[in-house]
Amino acid sequence: MAELSDVFFVDGMRTPFGRAGEKGMYWNTRADDLAVKATIGLMERNGQVPGDRIDDIAIAATSQTGDQGLTLGRSVGILAGLPQTVPGFAIDRMCAGAMTSVAMMSASIASGMYEVALAGGVEHMGHHPIGANADPNPRFVAERMVDPNALNMGVTAERIHDRFPHLTKQRADRYGMLSQQKAQAAYEAGKLQPDLVPVAITGADGAWGLATEDEGRRPETTMEGLASLKTPFRPHGRVTAGTSSPLTDGATMSLLAGGDAVKELGLAPKMKLVSFAFAGVQPEIMGIGPIPSTEKALRKAGLDIADIGLFELNEAFAIQVISLLDHFGIADDDPRVNQWGGAIAVGHPLAATGVRLMIQLAAQFAERPDVRYGLTAMCVGLGQGGSVIWENPNYDGKKKK
């Protein structure tokens, strides 16, 4: 029986995220090619890892059809030029797809079954709108298991406002505005660009171009502008486009390894896995899912929320993040939270986002040796939450001055 191994996030890269739809930069790009680009970029940056050392490839997608079908892990591995001896598979946990890819590959490494693995996700929401071709079982509604509106993420966000009236629209608007500002400041400071893989694209006119930045940012966002936006999910509601993640195309990929492989290959890991957890909640209010999953991950790690020095929380909706912060007694504008902005600004290509959170946390760890632990967390459709706690290998025990 193999001994339990430490698990390390060695590195991660992603494509720039694009607006979904005919006007988006990836309209003429295949979904699997986005995942291929992220994989090639990651392997090229980690050239000391031989391709034949990859034990498995897990790639997530929420809509596994068309150019997001055909067992993505396997097909992308072949298309990316990895040896055909490397297997692969596909995963679906809706928004937490890539996070689940990392969790499952990490568990395989921890148990000693794998040594090195790739884990990521892709979503082309322009080609495959959320829920397209889905056929929910009629028993959900007929037997009153789930409210029909539970499949509308915007409606579930409105219900968080209903449940917690003190989490006002104004607070959500301000959070959305700050996300845009922080993302723009991060771009101007060159924080995000090092982990982006440029992608060759073609426009409607056939002209070639190069995608190098996230397309959907709106740094000019103001509170006045947000206050005037329509509430598409409910008349006189509180959730708007300015406090929601936009429909997005993009792909992410991470390289994971066990302790022995790290030493053998001379790798310099960016994070060490501490714990992960997933939890279920009522589908009608799915946005609170990260609360119990974070409590579970903290319990497994023997930690308290006060031990977390950096947070990367997916901004499916501003209210969803605020509800978690409020639960744990953390201010909406706490500098530990999403300091380089989040999905409201850069986009949320569903199954890809989990690794985007990890990439940003890893980059922040490198700058913050005073921080020991960080959290990546997100809500999941149909009432789930996912959380992963990481340790900073650069931690020096000194408090920041």
Smallest CA-to-CA distance from 200 within 23, 345, 15 is with: 15
Confidence of residue 140 (pLDDT cuts 50, 70, 90): confident
Predicted pLDDT of residue 187: 98
Q: Which of 127, 128, 161, 379 is catalytic?
A: 379
Is position 327 annotated as part of the catalytic site? no
Smallest CA-to-CA distance from 294 within 172, 356, 394, 384 is with: 384
Confidence of residue 399 (pLDDT cuts 50, 70, 90): confident
Mean pLDDT of the chain: 96
pLDDT digits (tens, 9 = 90+) for 314-373: 999 999 999 999 999 999 999 999 999 999 999 999 999 999 999 999 999 999 999 999
Predicted pLDDT of residue 1: 55
Mean pLDDT, residues 253-275: 98
Is position 348 annotated as part of the catalytic site? yes
Domains of the chain by range and CATH?
Answer: 7-127+246-390 (3.40.47.10)
% of the chain exceeding 90 in pLDDT:
91
Neighbours of 267 (CB within 10 A): 18
pLDDT digits (tens, 9 = 90+) for 22-73: 999 999 999 999 999 999 999 999 999 999 999 999 999 999 999 999 999 9
Give, to the nearest 10 degrees, the angle between helix 318-327 and helix 290-301. 40
Q: Are 100 and 386 in contact (CB under 8 A)?
A: yes
Phi, psi dihedrals of residue 91, rounded to the nearest 5°: -135, 150
Cβ partners under 8 Å of residue 62, min gap 6: 92, 94, 95, 97, 123, 128, 130, 350, 351
Mean pLDDT, residues 213-221: 96
Instruction: Supply 274's token pair.
Output: 């501490």
Q: Which of 124, 127, 161, 348 is catalytic?
A: 348
pLDDT at residue 398 is higher than 90: no
Is position 236 annotated as part of the catalytic site? no
Q: Which of 95, 124, 127, 128 is catalytic?
A: 95
The three state secondary structure string of 187-225 is HHCCCCHHHECCEEEECCCCCEEEECCCCCCCCCCCHHH
% of the chain exceeding 70 in pLDDT:
99
Q: Are 339 and 309 in contact (CB under 8 A)?
A: no
Among all chains, which residue has been given the structure tokens 């959070």? Answer: 175
Mean pLDDT, residues 110-116: 97
String of b and e for 75-86 (b: at least 16 CB within 10 Å)?
A: bbbebbebeeeb
